[in-house]
């Protein structure tokens, strides 16, 4: 049971670190690098964000397993559910049109902005906060049971 409790602490903080590093540091900074065009930045962004998304799904599944086999805490369950819903919206609802738009831009088309990217960013901020809360709640849960 200690291993599961440790996963509940480590995973949210590792995941939050990934989001901070990729979504809020790497993604915006790459466009400030010399000689990085919009097309090059978008191409790199697609690769990086798809890799991050796959890793996030693995982390989500690992947290789900900790939920199934660990002590049930309603707060943890609520936070986990929030993370899962956000990730599924990003993966299933936002990524496909964002990928399509990026592909059109990469092919040279000039297309208008859509609501998908700003929605993704807002959900990313919410997910980051919820992940941090999940880690904190998990620490508190361990201290409470020790």
Stretch 91-115: mean pLDDT? 93
- pLDDT, one tens digit per residue, over 3-28 is 888 999 999 999 999 999 999 999 99
Least confident of 50-54, 77-81, 101-105: 101-105
Stretch 99-105: mean pLDDT? 93
Question: Which pLDDT belongs to residue 146?
Answer: 47
Alpha carbon dihedral 90, 36, 55, 101, in 10-degree steps, equals 30
Give the span between the Cα atoms of 22 and 14, in whole angstroms: 12
Quote the percentage of the chain above a pLDDT of 70: 96
């Amino acid at each position: 049971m200690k291993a599961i409790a440790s996963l509940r602490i480590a995973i949210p903080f590792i995941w939050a670190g990934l989001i901070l590093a990729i979504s809020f540091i790497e993604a915006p900074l790459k466009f400030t690098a010399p000689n990085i065009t919009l097309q090059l930045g978008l191409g790199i962004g697609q690769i990086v964000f798809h890799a991050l998304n796959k890793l996030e799904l693995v982390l989500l599944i690992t947290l789900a397993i900790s939920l199934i086999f660990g002590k049930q805490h309603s707060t943890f369950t609520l936070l986990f559910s929030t993370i899962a819903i956000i990730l599924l919206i990003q993966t299933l609802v936002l990524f496909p049109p964002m990928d399509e738009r990026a592909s059109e831009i990469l092919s040279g088309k000039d297309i208008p902005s859509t609501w998908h990217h700003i929605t993704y960013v807002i959900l990313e901020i919410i997910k980051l906060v919820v992940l941090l809360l999940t880690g904190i709640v998990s620490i508190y849960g361990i201290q409470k049971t020790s």
